[in-house]
Amino acid sequence: MVEGLLPFRDIGSLVRPRQDLSEGLHVVRDADEWARHWAKSSSGSSFGPPAAAVDWQTEMCVVAALGTRPSGGYQVLINTIEVVGGGLTVVAWEIRPGNCVVTCALTHPFHAVATPARTAPASLIKLVAEQDCEATDY
């Protein structure tokens, strides 16, 4: 397997008020498993978008999920997917709300991408940043 960065495309990035997708990295390699993951990510919402199209012959899905967070304002963003030493390393940012007014509801942020299919095991490196909100004077 050639080492280096893999291309990827966004297929979903949501924050749901209710979700059963556990915190961590989820690698999805077939349509049935993707349908189960998407159903979990869309639970609690009758207006959730349909699962994104993936070419399962050539692609797989990588999902970084934050699990339950205590309020709104949290995000997760997959930054890179790299082939390293026979495995895949996924680097994702957890963005935490700084001095922000946020919803007081539990949220479950996740980011899903499609990338060229690989059978190698995958690991997650999660980086954390805090993003302050701009104060608005009225």
How much is the average pLDDT of 70-88?
A: 93
How much is the average pLDDT of 116-135?
A: 91
Q: What pLDDT was estimated at residue 131? A: 87
Confidence tier at 47 by pLDDT (50, 70, 90) = very low
Q: If we measure between CA atoms, which residue out of 54, 55, 56, 78 comes closest to residue 66?
A: 78
| 34/51 Cα distance (integer angstroms) | 8
Q: What pLDDT was estimated at residue 108? A: 86
**How do residues 92-122 score in pLDDT, each as one tens digit?**
999 999 888 888 888 889 899 999 999 999 9
Q: Is 20 left (phi over 0), alpha (psi -120 to 50) or beta?
A: alpha
